[in-house]
Amino acid sequence: MALQVGDTAPDFKLYSSDLTEVSLSAFKGKKVIIHFFPMAFTGTCTEQLCTMRDNFSYYEGIDAQVIGISVDSPFSLGKFKEEQSYQFPLLSDFNKQVSAGYGAFYDEFVFGLKGVSKRAAFVIDEEGKIVYAEVLENAKDLPDFKAINDVLKV
C-alpha cells in the first residue's frame, strides 16, 4: 500500500549514480522531493526528470532537495545523469526495497519485466512527514508538477 499524506517517510540508504551512499535522514531540516521512475533512458522518465532539471533553480531557491529513484543500477543511472545533465542525485533501488516500501512498485511491468518502480512523487517536509504523495498506475502519466510546487510553497 502506498504511503499517505501525514505518514512519516521511511528512511532509506541507497547508492547514488556517483557510488556514494545517500540516506533520506541526511536531508532532515530540508524539504525533499522524491521522484520514483520506472527506467532510465525511456521517454516519459526522461521527461519527468528533465522537468525537475529545468526547474531546479526554483527548488534550490527554496532549499528543497530533489532526488530521483529507480531500480536501475548506479552505473546506468550515472550515464543517464551525465547525458541529461541532472543536478540532483539519482539513487539506485536495485534491490527494490525502497520502491516497495513507498508503495511505488510494479510486481510485473512491460515485456514481462518484474520488479520495477512505479512513477511516483513524494514531498517530505523538514520533519520527515509526507505532505504530498502521488503514485501513478499508468507509467505514461506524469506527476502533477503544479500540485508538487503548490505544496512546497506552504
Residues marked active site are found at 45
Cell of 66: 530533489
3 within 8 A of 103, measured Cβ to Cβ: yes
Per-residue burial over 72-109, b if 16 or more Cβ lie within 10 Å, else e, is bebebbbebbeeeebebbbbbbbeeebbeebbbbbeeb
